[in-house]
Amino acid sequence: MNQRIPAHIRNEILKIKSRKDIYSTSKIIKEKGLNTVCSSSRCPNLNLCFSNKTATFLLLGDKCTRKCPFCNIGYDEKPQIDLSEPAKIAYAVKSLKLNHAVITMVTRDDLEDGGASIVAAAVKEIKSNTDCGIVEVLTSDFKGSKKSINAVLDAGVNIFGHNIETVERFYKTVRPESSYELSLNILSFVKKEYPHIQTKSGIMVGFGENQEDVFKTISDIALTNVDFITIGQYMRPSIENIEVKEYVSLKTFIEYGKYAKSRGIKNVFSAPLVRSSFGAEKFYNNSIKLN
């Protein structure tokens, strides 16, 4: 049976800075027909982020070629491609006056390069046509294609993100079409071959994992020499998705954060509503001050 959302999480979701800014952010996104992971994944932080005039742009459409049971993004074997997406995203970045842009993507196993060329084009558009200084990407695994990964990294990315999402024990349940080992190898490859580019990964808790599972996953991620890790509470986006087995306590999130630090990960963001791109600019700026 799905558990009731605790009061402290409900209260955080309700924190809104400005409804006017939510509207203006939505207007810019709708004006160009853009997709955001905020809307497509039914992120609980949507209103808070939009009120701060930030959003995580979703490339390659709003349908994915994989069916991850935890995710709300729709499925299609061969979704359409809008080749004008990169230019439209650059327009939105410029209109919102973003200093730190975050781009993510749906998984496109139907494409030879997994969609890497579109992601690379978006990075280049932002770098060339806006004043945005930091471009962060959150990519699929590209089926492990180094050629695709290199194409994205060579476009001028500042932060490369790839999420582990869950502990190894639950991969077959939560990410049946993905590989725990492959995702770790991707993070290791990027840091080894592109040491000047910062790497980032994230996990969710609440699927029924125990502390030992989480500590092992954090340790495995730490071995990739990742620069940033996010740890957040899984929240069921719809009744079609996996149920929440546990709402993890704030104390436990603090313990997970401390453990990540003890494993050598310098920049850790661990709290219930933390998502891989939530507060990305602040997270990055704080890392500069701390390091």
Known binding positions:
38, 43, 49, 64, 68, 71, 277
> Helices marked H in the chain — which ranges?
7-13, 19-31, 37-40, 46-51, 85-95, 116-129, 146-153, 171-174, 180-193, 211-222, 250-262, 280-290
Q: Which of 240, 245, 246, 289 is nearest to 267 (CA)?
A: 289
The beta-strand segments (E) located in the chain are 35-36, 56-59, 63-64, 74-75, 100-105, 134-138, 159-161, 198-205, 228-233, 267-270
Rg of the chain taking only CA atoms, in angstroms? 18
Amino acid found at 228? F
What whole-number distance in Å separates Cα of residue 137 and Cα of residue 153? 9
Tell which residue, 66, 286, 52, has the closest CA to residue 165.
66
Whether residue 229 contacts residue 267, with contact meaning beta carbons closer than 8 Å, is answered with yes
Contact predicate 46/13, CB 8 Å:
no
SS3 state of residue 119: helix
Residues of the binding site for [4Fe-4S] cluster = 38, 43, 49, 64, 68, 71, 277
- The encoded tokens of residue 249 equal 């306590």
User: Is there a contact between 59 and 170 (Cβ–Cβ < 8 Å)?
Assistant: no
CA dist 270 and 202 (Å) reads 10
Closest by CA to 279, choosing from 241, 228, 243, 205, is 228
From the centroid of its chain, how far is CA 101?
12
